[in-house]
Amino acid sequence: MNYASIRTCDIANGEGVRVSLFVSGCTHHCKGCFNEEAWDFSYGEPFTAKTEDELLAALEPDFIDGLTVLGGEPMEPANQRALVPFLRRVRGRFGLSKTVWVYTGCVLETDLRSESRWRTEVTDEFLSLVDVLVDGPFVESLKDISLQFRGSSNQRILRLRHGTDDDASGALRKA
């Protein structure tokens, strides 16, 4: 897996101050995507053990609330397989003291919990390591800059660890 960039002090992609990993590779190709260069699986740098160590060190300070993984597309099958061992390391080091947010163009129920090209042998474990999943493709006609942590109104903020989510209307329900 390659990654496009890392932000070590990000306040735009999840609650609090976060370390954000932008992975490379995405086959959604959403019209109006803000990170189109990361569609290419070869874009950026290789995600290595050294990269993992740098991310873990960046997560250490108390003022860092957690890790955000976005892209590109973290739920591309090859990316899931590369990210699960790293997310295990994050949980092993920080337990639940740091939250993990993941942004995906996939829809939880139809793409990740049902049979689909996105569902792999590691998907369930991947989701078990995530606190918040922001799901759904970016839809340019539904773009709304007033939405917190989302680009379009069809996207949902799903609180997987706490068992509730905020859907596009703001209503809470079980994930």
- pLDDT at residue 29, rounded to an integer: 85
Where does the pLDDT of residue 32 fall: very low under 50, low under 70, confident under 90, or very high at 90 and above?
Answer: confident
- pLDDT at residue 58, rounded to an integer: 98
Mean pLDDT of all residues in the chain? 92
Domains of the chain: residue spans and CATH: 2-174 (3.20.20.70)
State how far the alpha carbon of 114 is from the alpha carbons of 43, 71, 81, in Å: 30, 22, 18
Of 162, 107, 154, 153, nearest to 130 by C-alpha is: 162
Q: Does residue 65 surpass a pLDDT of 90? A: yes
Task: List the structure tokens of 154.
Answer: 């069809």
Residue 69 carries which side chain, given as an amino acid letter? V
More confident residue, 137 or 162: 137
- pLDDT at residue 162, rounded to an integer: 63
The mean pLDDT of 16-28, rounded to a whole number, is: 96
Task: Give tens-digit pLDDT for 144-169.
Answer: 999 999 999 999 999 998 644 454 44
